[in-house]
Amino acid sequence: MEAARTTALDQTAHERLVELLRGGNVTVLTGAGLSTESGIPDYRGPDGKRRVVPMTYGQFVASPANRQRYWARSFVGWRRFAGARPNDGHRAVADLQRLGLVRAIITQNVDGLHQLAGARDVVELHGNLALARCLDCGETAHRADLDGRLLEANPHFEVIAGELRPDGDVVLSDEAVAGFHTPRCLVCQSDLVKPDVVFFGESVPKTIVEQCFSYVEASLGLVVLGSSLQVMSGYRFVRHAAASAIPVAIVTRGPSRGDDKATIRLDAPLGVTLSKIVQDLQR
């Protein structure tokens, strides 16, 4: 009986979400849960508890040894991370944009999979791992070029890698990390070269935050996909929408910090759910 009741509630939420999207002018906010079907793990499991503790900004800038550890792990994980491809969820979001129903796509992800799926003008709250930036002089580099330089500097770096992590790195032993040559800026030769993403302990640039607030304020609805909203960078937009009486729909597996502010809540797999929504909208 309880299973049947849950199914009926989910069906009602699905139908309400379809109608919200049918009205158009919706802002979409996506999180790591949208990319798990592409093989990129998220920080938290279905229970909402953090499974991975990433390197913080403070740790990264504190010492060359920390940067060596980060870059050795990232060097191994990058090829696997860069090889990820968009899944049905990413394609569905791009379809919603193509249908003219989405005002803006805001993502907390750093994998660029929205763009690979065909989405345009994606606002990346936390940056993109495909770029790196020198913290001393500001010079930027494409990660593919940087990877080539790292390969040349570490031709014999062979390790048994562990599981891929959300930031695109893997867990390595201290013995494996020792001797790894970290990247240097081609302009100023500083070793403070960092992926152009927002680390824990950093803030999203103010101009990007303001742009996202303006999108939400001008929308008829905010749809959150695959995010537990545990970090303020995304949660603040849900709070703002709810305070402005803008409908909030949340589709993710497991609990979300924004559940009490959601007008539509659906606990369901993203790929199949979003694909079905696009089909319903095209009828």
Q: Which are the catalytic amino acids?
A: 126
Sheet bearing 248-251, strands edge to edge: 123-124, 102-107, 26-30, 221-225, 248-251, 264-266
What is the rounded distance in angstroms from the CA atom of residue 190 to the CA atom of residue 52? 29
Strand order in the sheet with 140-142: 140-142, 127-134, 193-197
Number of CB atoms found within 10 A of residue 187's CB: 12
